[in-house]
Every structure is written in C-alpha cells, then in structure tokens.
Amino acid sequence: MDFIITEDQATLTTGVRDYLADVHTPELLRALDTSDSRRSADVWQGLVEMGLPGLLVPEEQGGLGLSLLDAVLIAAELGRAGVAEPIADTALVAAPLLAKADGQDALLTAIAAGEAKVALQHPANPWVADLDGASHLLSVNDGALLLADHSGTAKLLDSVDPLRRLYAPVAPSGTGVGPADALLDHAALIAAAQLVGLADAMLEQATDYAKNRSQFGQPIGSFQAVKHHLATAVVKIEFAKPVIQRAAVALAEGAASASVHVSHAKLAAADAAWAMGETAIQTHGAMGYTYEVDLHFWMKRAWALAGAWGDRAFHLGRIDAAVISGALPIGPGHSFA
Amino acid sequence: MDLAYTPEQQDFRAEVRAWMEANVPKEPLVTLEREHGYHQHVEWERRLASGNWGMVTWPEAYGGRGLDLIQWLIFEEEYYRTGAPLRVNQNGIFLLGPTVMEFGTDEQKARFLTPMAKGEVIWAQAWSEPNAGSDMAAITSKAIRDGDHYVISGQKTWSSRASFADWGFGLFRTDPDSKRHKGLSFILFDLNAPGVTRRPIRQLHGDPGFAELFFDEVRVPVENRIAGEGEGWNVAMATAGFERGLMLRSPARFQAAAARLVALFREHETKVAPAAREQVMQAWMDAQAYAYNTYAVASKIMAGGHIGAEASLNKIFWSELDRAAHRTAMQLLGASAELRHLDGGALNMWLEGYIFSLSGPIYAGSNEIQRNIIAERLLGLPR
C-alpha cells in the first residue's frame, strides 16, 4: 500500500507543465481565438516533439507505455494550460483503449508519431470534439466500441468555449475494438483530470489578481473575505485530486468498482472547477466579467468539461446504483477493495 | 503507487479485527462527558492497553507497537468497523504523547508516557483562556518561578476532558513582562493539586464536556515544564500541528458514519426530501475522498515528506463533511430527530453526533483561522 506519486512521475509532470507554460500562453489562446480553424499545426507539432501523443502507446509501437496514473497527471497539465488541441482525446483516451485491442499496432504507431488523431463519440457525450481533422473515429453501437477511419467535414456547432470545436454525432461504424463503457470511463477520467488542472490555473490567476489589485490602500488578497473564498476553493480542488488518482488506478487494474470511482472523480473535479470559476470571477470583480481578462478561457472550458462525458445526473446515477443500493461494500476498510 | 495491501498488512488487519470483535463492549458506553460514562471509557482504555492496542503508533519503548501510518489506518478502520468507543485518552495519544517524545527529557518520558499508555492517567488540554481563543498568543495566565517551583495563577477555559481527567497541559506566561508569543512555557499540572478549581461547563448536549480551570497560586515543580523556559509557543505549535494534522480524525470514523447514513437513508427512502438522496451520496463521496487523501499524506510522510500548512485543508474538510453528514441524518429523521432516545429506547446517536459535529469547525483552530493559514501560507496572500 503506497498512495504516492513517484519522483519520475513528478518530473514528467513538471516538464510538461514548464513546456506548456512557455509555449501555450494566454497570448496563444487569444491568437487561436481569432483564427479560422482555432487549431495550430505548430502547437500540435510542439506537442508531438514533447512526446505527448505516445505517452500511453506501448513501447513496441514507439510510445512510452505509461499508465493511466501518468495520464491523469498529464491531463491536469493540459487543463492547466488550457490546451485545446485534441491531444487528450487521442493520446490519453484513445491510445490506452486501442492498446488493449488486437491488431491496432499500425494506428498506435501513427498516434505515437503524431500522425493520427482519434475523435471520440459516445451517447453519454452528445457532441463530438474535433471530428473535423480527425483521422479516426471511435464510436459506440449496441454496447460495442467501434473504430473507423474518418475524413470529410461537418457543420461546426457554436460552443461558449471559443476554442472547443464540436460537431453533431455521426452514424456509428467500424470494427469492434472493445466494450463501449470503457470509452466512457476513460474519457470521463481524463475530463476529470483536466478539470482539476483548469481549477488550479484559475486559482493561480485569482490569487495573482488578489495580490496585485489594491483597494482601500491594500491588496484585496489581504482581506479575509477574499482569503476565505479562495481557501474554500483550494480545499475542494485538493480533495478532488486523490479521488482522480484512485480512479485511475482502479480503471488501470480493471477493478469491478472502477466505474464508481470514475464517477466520483468526475463529480468531485467538476464541482471543484465550477466553484473555482465562480470564486475566480468574483475575486477579479468587474475585470473578471470582461473578455479581456484571460480567466474566461479556463472558466468556459470547465463548464464544457463538467457537462461532457457524463453530466452530474449521469455520474450521480452510477454512484446511486452502487452505493445506495448496497451493491458496493462501503465503510471502513473498503477504500481499496 | 500501489493500492493493494501487502500480505503482512492483511494479517495485521485480521489480528486487529479478531481482538476488537472479542473485546469491544457489546452495549454502547454512556457518553464520556458524564462521570459514569467517563469511567467506562477509562476502563475501555485500560482494556485496550491490556492488549497493547492503546498507543499503536508510539514506539515500543514507550509502550506502543511502533506501527507505521498505513498500519495505523488499518487499525483505525477495524476499530471503527466494530463500533469501538471514542477515545477518552485522545489528548494523551495524539497531543501530549508526541510532544513529550519530541521535546521531553528522558526523565519526563519515563514519568509521563508509561502511565499515559496504560490509561492510568487521563489528560486534559488547557490552551484557551477567556480572552485567548483563536488569538492564543494573548494568554495571560502566569507561572512565576519560585525556587524549584512555578506558582500558577490565572484561568483556562474550554478545557476538554478537564471535568474528570487527572492531569492537564497548557501554556503559561513564565515571563510576566513578555508579550504575545514570547515568554510562554509548556507546563504539565496535576488537576487535583491544591489551588486548582475546576468548574465544569455544560455543553450543547447538556453534559459537562469541558471545564473552566481556575489557578490560585498552584505550585508546580519546574521539572513539569516541557522544553526550555520561554519556548512554549513553538512546542504548542508542534502539538497543534499534531492536532490539526493527520491523526486527529481518522477517515475510518467518517466512513463508518457514511455507511450508517446510507443504511438510515434506505430505512427512510419512501419519505425523504428529493435532495436527501444526493446529500447521502455526497457524504459517502466525501468520506472516501478524505480516506484517499489521508492514505496519500501517510504515504508521503512515510517516504520522508512532512505535512505543513496542508493540515489546515484536512481540518476544514473533515469537520465540514462530518457536520454535513450528520445534518443530513437529522433531516432524514425528520420529526424524530429531536428525540434523545429513538424507538426501542436506544440513544439517538445521530442527534449526539450532530451536536458533536458542530464543535469540529470550532476547536483545534477554528475553520476561519485554518482558511487564513491556507490563504497566507499556501497561496501566499498578504497578512
């Protein structure tokens, strides 16, 4: 029993964080916001050079063969930087699913090389992100996960998040590569991890603002009302993180209870990020209500991911079915069973 | 990260479980806030000590088992799984014991730790004063040196266990000209010494849980001082760190409450408010989150890390989840919530628990103080 992030994991996470802080700046987000495609081949290439697409691809296919625990740590960094490129869906959701399927070596190799992008479609997630530009589509039919090549264009939906590119679902097709629910659990876990990263970024922005904005002759961060709002938000964020890690381990092990842990993680992360968004805008005051302040990019992503990959009702429903019904053993000593 | 228990850890769990199942009283004890219940709880401490289960994390040299933190968590899980009584010895196990081990002399360790471990001496804490609550550095009670004694005068309040306990520990101003954090010393005193008057204070539930203490020229030998004269603040901060940190409230306790809450919900399912269902699920989720976090912190400490201002996150989280879970239970009970005894005559444990939970956000540093600590030390906001 050892509930700890290793030094290697911490080093990898810090490396990704530092890289993204350098290249994936708020200025970049603003430039993407005014571009037609809202995607950047340069940014994608940078992520490829960092080795991100291959993190969870097995070593035999040119990846690093890392675990879902690594995946949630990296997903949090993608959230923290507000990355909009479809790297999380392809590298952190699709790759580990395809690695469990037979006969996907070529696609996995292409993913690791940054040459394939996999869009994800599931009934619990009504809109498909980055369908345009995807080379492959994972979709669901009759409980099965299907993989198909993808090309062509579709009509872009208008998300409040200026950098999300959403499309209506298409007819599921392709060859079976596993059970449908695996896609949902993996994607919900990665969404949860991105949500805590988004929350951390909003916390940092609000804290910086509170340190630098003065009223009544002193920084507003010296006032207890402001301090206590931010401290309350920190508690929610910090207690969501171990839930996500616990869910990552359960899902990696294929534990029977993994879905419950994923739902718990998604609920905790969405609550934390949503609350952090409201706290951050309140801390910024009227500035927070402007498009000029960066905060909105992160806040809107948090709203989007909170509803994506199973909304609150969906995940509470899964907790309900396991916990209230008595199907899942609960109480002391059952944390890791 | 490896979230599987080792075979040794599983064997240990089985050993604790067997002992607890054979020894935990079948009938719940009377509350330890009443004299009769207090003595029942002291008996239970001695029973625990007889099986060497009293101070499991203490080193073997002081009568403990020298368990690591993961073993401690397993112990606590089995303890609360069997519904074992609250620990009347809490102040000794988690506050004074570690303080004496860290700051005490060999003579003090020998003198105080063994009787504490055996449940022979039960300790009260004496931090707060009428004008020194959240602002503990405002302490005015004095301990004036007179030869090889201190002469203590002043008043302490909200002194937990002091109505019935044997000894107390607290901070006293040994330099009468000092201000704030300076000139304070950490002193242990016999609650039955001449000049000590205890006035039990009725708590919300009607029983005398804590007491006011009046000191009228109480003579205390100098060898009852822990660490140097004037070093009391640092010693107390270390003690408060133990209190707020990992070990004050083990997750097992909240997981047990959450499991009982789910059972209560099922009993009342047909007549509850729509929101109750979600609140019950939230109580379970929060207890789980607290458990995972505690395992994570324990693992970090075992790997050589330490817990600093993060302890304030813990204290807020457990105290607020505990209050919310018991509030939910009170709402599920509806009109029966106010009854001290439920159908069949059993004590309404949800009512008792709810009342107790209201103290959580206040004691061991109010949650407002904890939020200040988080904002200033974790976020770096200006004081």
Is the Cβ pair A264, B288 closer than 8 Å? Answer: yes
Within chain B, how many helices (H) and strands (E) appear? Answer: 13, 8
- The tens-digit pLDDT sequence of chain B (383 residues) is 999 999 999 999 999 999 999 999 998 898 888 899 999 999 999 999 999 999 999 999 888 999 999 999 999 999 999 999 999 998 888 889 999 999 999 999 999 999 999 999 999 999 999 999 889 899 999 999 999 999 999 999 999 899 999 999 999 999 999 999 999 999 999 999 999 999 999 999 888 889 999 999 999 999 999 999 999 999 988 876 665 566 768 899 999 999 999 999 999 999 889 999 999 999 999 999 999 999 999 999 899 888 888 899 999 999 999 999 999 999 999 999 999 988 788 889 999 999 999 999 998 889 999 999 999 999 999 99
Q: Does B292 touch chain A (CB under 8 A)?
A: yes
Q: Is residue A227 part of a domain?
A: yes
Within this chain, do residues A13 and A157 fall inside the same structural domain, yes or no?
Answer: yes
Q: Is residue A336 part of a domain?
A: no
Instruction: Provide the domain count of chain A.
Output: 2
pLDDT tens profile A9-58: 999 999 999 999 999 999 999 999 999 999 999 999 999 999 999 999 99
Within this chain, do residues A238 and A270 fall inside the same structural domain, yes or no?
Answer: yes
Q: Which residues of B touch A318 (CB under 8 A)?
A: none
> Which of A2, A203, A210 lies closest to B1 in CB terms?
A2
Alpha carbons B199 and B211: distance in angstroms, whole number: 5
Q: Is residue A226 part of a domain?
A: yes
Residue A239: what pLDDT? Answer: 98
> What are A214's strand-pairing partners?
A219
Q: Is-contact B117 B174, C-beta < 8 A?
A: no
Within this chain, do residues A117 and A207 fall inside the same structural domain, yes or no?
Answer: no
Within this chain, do residues A20 and A131 fall inside the same structural domain, yes or no?
Answer: yes
CATH number at residue A62: 1.10.540.10
Q: Is residue A215 part of a domain?
A: yes
pLDDT tens profile A128-178: 999 999 999 999 999 999 999 999 888 999 999 999 999 999 999 999 999
The interface pTM score, or ipTM, of the predicted complex is 0.96
pLDDT tens profile A228-284: 999 999 999 999 999 999 999 999 999 999 999 999 999 999 999 999 999 999 999
Q: Where are the alpha helices (DSSP H) in chain B?
A: 7-23, 35-50, 69-81, 90, 97-103, 106-108, 114-117, 232-244, 251-268, 274-302, 311-333, 349-357, 367-373
Q: Hey, what are B340's tokens?
A: 């001290």
Q: Is-contact A66 A93, C-beta < 8 A?
A: no
Instruction: Please report the domains of chain B, with CATH numbers, ordered by start residue.
Output: 7-88 (no CATH), 123-231 (2.40.110.10), 249-378 (1.20.140.10)
Q: Hey, what are A275's tokens?
A: 């609350």
pLDDT-based confidence at A196, cuts 50/70/90?
very high
Residue A154: what pLDDT? Answer: 87
Q: Which of A152, A180, A208 is the last residue of a domain?
A: A180
Within this chain, do residues A86 and A110 fall inside the same structural domain, yes or no?
Answer: yes
Within this chain, do residues A175 and A79 fall inside the same structural domain, yes or no?
Answer: yes
Percentage of residues in chain B having pLDDT higher than 90:
80
Q: Which of A121, A154, A180 is the last residue of a domain?
A: A180
Catalytic residue among B243, B269, B338, B376: B243
Q: Which residues of A touch B379 (CB under 8 A)?
A: 203, 207, 221, 227, 230-231, 234
Is the Cβ pair B382, A326 closer than 8 Å? Answer: no
Alpha carbons A122 and A132: distance in angstroms, whole number: 16
Is the Cβ pair A267, B255 closer than 8 Å? Answer: no
Within this chain, do residues A222 and A170 fall inside the same structural domain, yes or no?
Answer: no
Which residue range forms the structural domain that includes residue A205?
Answer: 183-326
Within this chain, do residues A213 and A161 fall inside the same structural domain, yes or no?
Answer: no
* B243 counts as catalytic: yes
Q: Which of A151, A180, A209 is the last residue of a domain?
A: A180
Within this chain, do residues A45 and A92 fall inside the same structural domain, yes or no?
Answer: yes
Within this chain, do residues A106 and A187 fall inside the same structural domain, yes or no?
Answer: no
Residue with tokens 């340190």: A211
Within this chain, do residues A145 and A208 fall inside the same structural domain, yes or no?
Answer: no
Q: Does B268 touch chain A (CB under 8 A)?
A: no
Within this chain, do residues A162 and A242 fall inside the same structural domain, yes or no?
Answer: no
Closest CA to A68 of A110, A102, A108, A97: A97
Q: Which sign does the torsion angle of CA A241, A243, A245, A251 carry?
A: negative
Q: What is the CA angle B364-B365-B367, rounded to 5?
A: 115
CB atoms within 10 A of CB A42: 9
CATH number at residue A286: 1.20.140.10
Under DSSP, is residue B86 helix (H, G, I), strand (E, B) or coil? coil
Q: Is residue A1 part of a domain?
A: no
Q: What are phi and psi of B288, to 5 degrees?
A: -65, -45
Closest CA to A122 of A71, A178, A160: A178
Q: Is-contact A218 A248, C-beta < 8 A?
A: no
Is the Cβ pair A3, B280 closer than 8 Å? Answer: no
Is the Cβ pair A268, B289 closer than 8 Å? Answer: yes
Q: Where on the phi/psi map is residue B38: left (φ > 0), alpha (ψ -120 to 50), or beta?
A: alpha
Beta pairing, strands B184-190 & B196-201: unpaired
Q: Is residue A337 part of a domain?
A: no
Q: Which sign does the torsion angle of CA B172, B175, B178, B182 carry?
A: negative
Q: Which residues of B touch A330 (CB under 8 A)?
A: 255, 258-259, 262, 284
Alpha carbons A68 and A92: distance in angstroms, whole number: 8
Q: Is residue A334 part of a domain?
A: no
Q: What are phi and psi of A66, to 5 degrees?
A: -80, 175
Q: Is residue A111 part of a domain?
A: yes
